[in-house]
Structure 1
Amino acid sequence: MHADEIRLFDFMIDRFDLVQLPVLPLRGRGGWWRRAIADHYGDEFAESHGKLLSVREALGASVPSAGVACAFERDMLAALALDEAAGPFDPGSLTEDYEAGLRIRDMGGRSAFVRMRDARGDVIATREFFPDSVDAAVRQKARWTIGIALAGWDRLGWRGGPAEFWMRLRDRRAVLAALVLFAAYLTLLLLAALALLALVMPVPGRPLTPLMTALLWFNLFLMLWRMAMRFLFVTRAYGLRAGLGAVPRTLIANYIGILAARRAIFLYLRSLGGQPLRWDKTQHRFPDLKTDP
């Protein structure tokens, strides 16, 4: 936690019902695989808390609470507590912090994402370690996927104007994105197998239509644009070396996202059959003040 966070909250909370500051995951420790898993969180948060939340606020959409680095205005917290079923933070939700931010917007409250720097030029943010194993990362992201994309759809619906609708659609795209990624990777493997097969025997093929060719080029442009944005925001947050590593780490992020979506779908389907959803707690490692920067 940054030393200036409380002072910044005190300065802003008179004007807003929710104040959210950036969260910057600490860089991973240990072997390269564990570092890569932990660092992919930093890649995602660098872009989300460096761009997306600012855009949400500018468009007048809700600003979700991250559960840390945030402050709630007392009267709004009391208003949230008036909901006897949910309370201020619904224990029946797997992402109660995220939901609180959306509920504040639905109640007409104002939220702000504040990205400021201290006297030394450092971002005033909360920094913490995130999971550095595949199993822990999949469990955490599966909980996020259920709470935001699946159960969140049921619980919060599609309230708000066009900007809010679009942002909720973005929030809930995780399962569909994972399915598309899985199909894309299977297609790449199939194309590679066909290319190898073509070395030893003729493989009949069909030429691409002009429309399909144009779509593929457009898709390539969008992918390069996404990679460029990821590189820029990670470089701004962690430096050039981390920015360059963010591009190949996208493969790890996609792998974890696919596994998390699979787990989320099965758990959610079981909940529809009567099995209650469980809050799968993330085991955090706390920084060592002597060895961690």
Structure 2
Amino acid sequence: MTMLDPVLVWLLAVEHELLLFAAFWFLAGTLDDVGVDLVWIWLKLTGRAGVSRVSDKQAAAPLSSPAAVLIAAWQEAEVIGHTIRHALSAWHQRDFTLYIGCYRNDGATVASVIAAASGDPRVRLVIHEKPGPTTKADCLNRLYRAVRDEDRRRSMRSRFILMHDSEDMVHPAELAVIDAAIDTCDYVQLPVRPEPQPRSRWVAGHYTDEFTEAHAKVLVVRDALGAGIPAAGVGCGFACEMLERIARRRALEGGEGPFASECLTEDYELGLLVWREGGRSRYLRLRDEQGRLVATRAYFPASLDASVRQKTRWILGIAFQGWDSLGWGNRLADWWMVLRDRRGPLAAFVFACAYGLLVLEGLLGGLRIFGLVQASVFSPVLEAMLIACWASLVWRMANRFAFTAHEYGLREGLRSIPRGPVANIIAIMAGYRALARYLHSLAGGSVTWDKTSHDNHPAVPDISAQLPA
């Protein structure tokens, strides 16, 4: 027996345990994903997952009553002007008002809003009384109060409130679609379409893969099952009566509006609260006469650090804060979908173990070449689990390719396959940071608006002209 033997025995034991752990959780995730896949396939076969069409005439139809659009802006001088100008030109209706929330210590953003509005009566600049940043939800609550105050002055009430971000490129049919849908429901969510960025095919590109599959399949399934639909924070319209009901509920808990000021994913929580309050939610996928998806287009983070920060906020807000504030629901479909939403931290840990296993396999493979270690022998059960994991990986890659290629073309579909590891690494880093920040908040740390910085906009002509429809 050599001095190396105990180390080799330990490495082989670690290999076996990691294989068993990773295989079990990958298969658990596979059962979850395949369940969604089967429901979606059934919906397609029965014609319930089709994409409706909206004509140019319908897109330009007048609103049945006034609408308010809320945009919270902190340090968005580079993009907010493009968003305002594009929305004012894209939407043909006149009976809507843009409420832009800014802070008194962010003069550059205030100046950009004033310049872009150019005196248009459909734009309201709302300066928060607190210095920024607070939280996005807090800024949105300030905008909500501004809408209510103006409605009282005009002796009228806005019919629905639409949410957007400072970097969004809206679709011309959006207002008309939501106005028509809000007749029969309390909340409407339209798709989000991340725009490809040639300077960041891998980091920014992985958002195209994730959002396309989520918004072309998962949300379609949620809508069909009648489960709560989380709001994406953009392209989502809420009936004012429902927002008032939620605001009254929050007031009993010391809140100042319908948005949870302490939450980093107030949009996600608000969407689920509509369902919890007995309201009806809808997710709508439509295309215009030119075949373009009626969706919000935006550039997502192009750098690794920015992407990790953004996904840290999502995981912290959805998986940890959402668990604290929303619980799990009392219907099977709702419980299933909320469980999917909150699996981010566990998925990050499983991915980390899997990549650690790859490193270990590389080390053991080298030792086997030199004859220092015998080939591992696994039980039939573990072998079957590993074969199922490989089959699952191929199925998931095929799914990701198919959805991405359908929306963005064959090249982006092919890129989605090697982008998978990039998405996993970002998920690992974000999961770790989200857990650290959550533990910090439990120790009394404050929650602030850890926003994503934006320096380009899809509505800028020389950029958007290069993008596929």
Compute the TM-score of the two structures, normalised by the length of structure 2. 0.61
Q: Counterpart in 1 of 2:196?
A: 27
Helix, strand or coil at the partner of 2:286: coil
Instruction: Give the drift of 1:35.
Output: 2.4
Find the partner of 2:457 among 279, 286, 290.
286
> Which of the pair has more CA radius of gyration?
2
Find the partner of 1:144 among 287, 291, 314.
314
CA distance in 1, matches of 2:463, 2:214: 28
CA distance in 1, matches of 2:441, 2:189: 31
CA distance in 2, matches of 1:104, 1:88: 11
The Cα offsets for residues 148-182 of structure 1, whole Å up to 9 and x where unpaired, read as 00111111111130110010100000000000000
The Cα offsets for residues 55-107 of structure 1, whole Å up to 9 and x where unpaired, read as 01111100111010111111111111112134211111100000000100100
CA distance in 2, matches of 1:125, 1:117: 9
Q: Counterpart in 2 of 1:171?
A: 341
- Judge conservation of contact 1:24–1:128 (CA < 8 Å) in 2: yes
CA distance in 2, matches of 1:160, 1:168: 11
- Judge conservation of contact 1:267–1:277 (CA < 8 Å) in 2: no
CA distance in 2, matches of 1:130, 1:12: 28
Find the partner of 1:132 among 294, 302, 317.
302
CA distance in 1, matches of 2:376, 2:298: 52
CA distance in 2, matches of 1:219, 1:27: 30
Q: What aligned pairs does 1:170-249 form with structure 2 within 5 A after superposition?
A: 170-249=340-419
Unmatched 5+ residue regions in structure 2?
1-169
The Cα offsets for residues 6-26 of structure 1, whole Å up to 9 and x where unpaired, read as 111111111111110000001
- Judge conservation of contact 2:195–2:300 (CA < 8 Å) in 1: yes
The Cα offsets for residues 237-262 of structure 1, whole Å up to 9 and x where unpaired, read as 11111011101101100011100011
Runs of 4+ in 1 over 3 A off after TM superposition: none
Residue 36 of structure 1 pairs with residue 206 of structure 2: no
The Cα offsets for residues 32-75 of structure 1, whole Å up to 9 and x where unpaired, read as xx221111011100001010001011111001110101111111
The range that moved more, 277-286 or 230-239, is 277-286
Q: Counterpart in 2 of 1:274?
A: 444
Helix, strand or coil at the partner of 1:37: coil
Q: Counterpart in 2 of 1:65?
A: 231
CA distance in 2, matches of 1:231, 1:264: 29
Structure 2 residue identity aligned to 1:35 = R
* Aligned positions, number: 290
Find the partner of 1:258 among 428, 433, 449.
428
CA distance in 2, matches of 1:279, 1:204: 53
Q: Counterpart in 1 of 2:281?
A: 111
- Judge conservation of contact 2:203–2:302 (CA < 8 Å) in 1: yes
Structure 2 residue identity aligned to 1:49 = H
Percentage identity across aligned positions? Answer: 47
- Judge conservation of contact 2:401–2:416 (CA < 8 Å) in 1: yes
Find the partner of 2:261 among 81, 91, 110.
91
Q: Counterpart in 2 of 1:75?
A: 241
Structure 1 residue identity aligned to 2:447 = L
- Judge conservation of contact 1:106–1:160 (CA < 8 Å) in 2: no
CA distance in 2, matches of 1:181, 1:235: 25
Compute the TM-score of the two structures, normalised by the length of structure 1. 0.96
Helix, strand or coil at the partner of 1:282: coil
Helix, strand or coil at the partner of 1:27: coil
Structure 2 residue identity aligned to 1:40 = H
Helix, strand or coil at the partner of 1:112: strand
Structure 2 residue identity aligned to 1:22 = P
- Which is bigger in relative contact order (C-alpha 8 A, separation at least 6)? 1
CA distance in 2, matches of 1:77, 1:273: 32
- Judge conservation of contact 2:311–2:430 (CA < 8 Å) in 1: yes
